[in-house]
Amino acid sequence: MRGRRSGRVVAGLGVAAAVLLAFPSLVPDTPGHLGSLLESFLPWLGAVVALLAVVALLRRSAVALVALLLPAAVWGFSYGRLVLPAAAPGGRELLVVQHNVGDENPDPAGTARALAGAGADLIALQELVAPALGSYETELAARYPYHVVRGTVGLWSRHPLTGVRPLDIRPRGIEGPWNRALRAVVRTPYGDVAAYVVHLPSVRVGSGGLASGRRDESAVLLGRELAAERTARVVLAGDLNGSVDDRGLAPLTSVLAAPARGFAFSFPARLPVVRIDQVLARGAVVPSVRTLPATGSDHLPVAARIALGP
């Protein structure tokens, strides 16, 4: 009887996991932005399902095992494509590296050399602070003759940059210098690409849930900038302090394409559980994203392919 009861409990938990995977919007965002918090770690419900399957096997519960097929199928439908092999690189692609280098990075020069070694066309960086900025400019100069820095964000490019300007995405209540977004047009061999480099405000997880109000406000402001962008091809690279599933980033993810392949969890660097460093695109696709080896930052760098098409 006890085994049968535990099997029903496991089956019930499996069905609940399936519902959350399929309909995360059922979880309200207030209080504490709980919906966003769930969505940030949504792929990890697959690990919960796997753990439940182990329990069902130990309990020898056929009912539980059959019930767990439902969340397994939903997870596969939602995330299975991310683990499939990416298509072979095409001829009209850019490689974009995105990295929050960390304002306390003990080895900015080593970080810059590691990023340069990735062979990217564009490198987007956040948390550029003096005197470390000089190290990035020196180490990247040989391979990236074009670069621009506005505030604490910067873009290094193999191709000429024009139309450079800062973006005002400052949320209410922040005083003093605060420049964490820029826009530039990259003159690639395949046509112009508008490149946005951003660092959205940080979020915190505490007893009250997820504190993401300022980040969400900045995402709305950035979404307006993107809506006004007239260049057909757009690439956004930045530390968005949220996953692509997070409803707080809907002003961005509703108009920009996320990577088709790869989880590329980037934070925290020592035990990454979520990708908050994003490369998104409009008028182009992102076939894949992957992480690069750790640097002196608390984030991992990510490298994304951008297919520009004909």
Give the DSSP letter of residue 248: G
CA gap 287, 209 in Å, rounded = 34
Task: Dump pLDDT digits (tens) for 179-231.
Answer: 999 999 999 999 999 999 999 999 988 767 788 999 999 999 999 999 999 99
CA gap 94, 27 in Å, rounded = 38
Cβ pair 159, 187 in contact under 8 A: yes
CA gap 244, 143 in Å, rounded = 31
Say if pTM beats, i.e. exceeds, 0.85: yes
Residue ranges per structural domain of the chain? 2-83, 93-307
Task: Dump pLDDT digits (tens) for 126-172.
Answer: 999 999 999 999 999 999 999 999 999 999 999 999 999 999 999 99
Predicted local confidence at residue 181, as pLDDT? 98
Task: Dump pLDDT digits (tens) for 184-194.
Answer: 999 999 999 99
Cβ pair 10, 56 in contact under 8 A: yes
Give the DSSP letter of residue 194: E
Average pLDDT on 69-95 reads 90
- pLDDT-derived band at 58 (thresholds 50, 70, 90) equals confident
Looking at 37-46, 102-111, 146-155, 204-213, which range is the least confident one? 204-213
Strand blocks (E) in the chain: 93-100, 122-126, 146-150, 153-157, 161-166, 181-188, 191-199, 204-206, 209-211, 234-239, 277-282, 285-291, 302-307
Q: Considering the domain 93-307, what is its CATH architecture?
A: 4-Layer Sandwich (3.60)
Which tokens sit at 297? 């930052």
